[in-house]
Amino acid sequence: MIKKLSRNMLVAATIFVASTSFSFSQSKIEKLTSKSSDKKAAKLPAPSARSEAPRPSNGLKVHSLGIGLGQTFIKGDFDDFGEDKITFDLLYNYSASHSFDLMIDLHNHKHEFRNTFVRLTGLAVGIKAKLYNFDNFAPFAVAGLGFYAPKVKRLVNNVLTESESKVVFGTHLGGGGELKLNDKFTVGLLAQYHNPFDLKQELGPEVEGSYYKLLITGYYHF
């Protein structure tokens, strides 16, 4: 009887020790697991910080300033008062999308012939449509409207007279191609046709004419 009782007590003690050891090990594992999870969570950036990271522009919403240098060919009545010459234009470009850009052309140059001249001042705003992209080269077409202030010095009733200074609306269109050298610089060719509306004068005939431009262009992107 005593041996049987001792055996039962030994079995009960063994079960108690085993269950206690298992509970202690399980609680220790849970603590280690929770600490590891806390460290990983601390290393991860907050969701708001990840969402505020800047995204690459891929060439969109880029401002560009440039210069166009080339020949200006005057036509119509302008051709009677001046000669074709080398001129330069100030250019601005804004890439609004993968297919369309905003393009602004500012120019002011004087063409002389003997005692007469024609001064051409214009601010042309247009939409530039990229026809396709072949590697870093893109041909394009451009068209739009602008503000023009042509002025001429001519013979009126056998007297050299300068026309009145007025600003009129006008149209322009053209085309060309651009080669992107890197993220900062682009070069290209630009051919344009400018047609200011006629200017009525109190003395003498209207001032009318048009002109073409063939330019080598260079842009700096920022």
Looking at the predicted structure, is the pLDDT value of residue 17 above 90? no
Task: Give the number of other CB atoms < 10 A from CB of residue 222.
Answer: 8
Least confident of 6-15, 81-90, 99-108: 6-15
Tokens of 214: 């063939």
Give residue for tokens 């560009």: 64
**Pairing mode, strands 210-221 and 63-75:** antiparallel
The answer to whether the beta carbons of residues 148 and 170 sit under 8 Å apart is yes
Letter for the amino acid at 181? L
For 51, the enclosing helix (H) or strand (E) is: helix 47-51
Tokens of 202: 């109190």
For 35, the enclosing helix (H) or strand (E) is: helix 2-43
pLDDT digits over 28-43, tens only?
445 545 555 555 545 5
- Percent of the chain exceeding pLDDT 70 equals 74
pLDDT digits over 65-86, tens only?
999 999 999 999 999 999 999 9
pLDDT digits over 149-178, tens only?
999 999 988 899 999 989 999 999 999 999
- φ and ψ of 133, to 5 deg: -120, 125
Tokens of 53: 């990271």
Mean pLDDT, rounded, of the chain: 83
| For residues 138-154, average pLDDT | 97
Looking at the predicted structure, is the pLDDT value of residue 139 above 70? yes
